[in-house]
Homo-oligomer: A and B are copies of this chain.
Amino acid sequence: MALDTVQVDLANGEQFSDEFRRINPDCAVPVLELDDGTLLSEVGAICQYLEELQPEPSLFGSTPVERAMVTMWNTKIEQQGFMAIADAFRNSTKGLKQNAITGPEQFTQIPELADRGRKRVQLFFEKLDSHLSDKAHIVGENFSIADISAFVVVDFVGWIKVAIPDDAINLARWHASVSARPSAAA
């Protein structure tokens, strides 16, 4: 499945233009436009839709319990990983002084939130390391969207000058294994 892509120039504020607001009033990427003009925003909704178009190999789990575990872990990764990184990045980056929250409304940075975000990501890495001590992937045996989400967390964390802790050997092993997948280079 190939999708046409259009880059939105976030660094220069294209997401706040009138044209982009008609595509997503929340002024955020990504957005998937369907052939009939339907506009889907929020990365989880877009991934779910693409999975339904191409369900094999399954990235969301193969049984009701496995699917629920994938959603559970994806939620924890989103809330304890991504949100913490977003807090750290948006509340410490010079160009975002009035954009501490994604979206069209202006919110002033809160410096304590940047410190808290870095601390939370470190705690989350400890938790993931412990969770992965007896597992090849986040949800047991099978690679899933939860592994992709956690991989992106590790990728993004350089932005806030945090890295996988030296003693997190399970997390490092998992990260090396996911990095070796051909899709990780995309």
Contact = CB atoms under 8 A, between A and B. Distances in A.
Given A110-B110, A120-B101, A26 B76 contact: yes
Contacts of A69: 40, 45
Interface size class of A (residues with CB under 8 A): 35 or more
A112 to B, nearest CB: 5
Interface string A20-62: 0000011000000010001011101110110011000000000
Contacts of A41: 72
A123 B34 CA distance: 28
This chain's copy number in the assembly: 2
A60 B25 CA distance: 23
Interface string A84-123: 0000000000000000010101010010110010011001
A175 interface: no
A76 B101 CA distance: 13
A138 B24 CA distance: 16
A6 interface: no
A101 B116 CA distance: 10
A38 B52 contact: no
Nearest to A120: B101
Contacts of A40: 65, 68-69, 72
Contacts of A25: 127
Given A26-B76, A113-B110, A113-B113, A52 B71 contact: no
A180 B52 CA distance: 34
Given A48-B68, A64-B52, A65-B34, A42 B75 contact: yes
Interface of A: 25-26, 34, 38, 40-42, 44-46, 48-49, 52-53, 64-65, 67-69, 71-72, 75-76, 80, 83, 101, 103, 105, 107, 110, 112-113, 116, 119-120, 123, 127
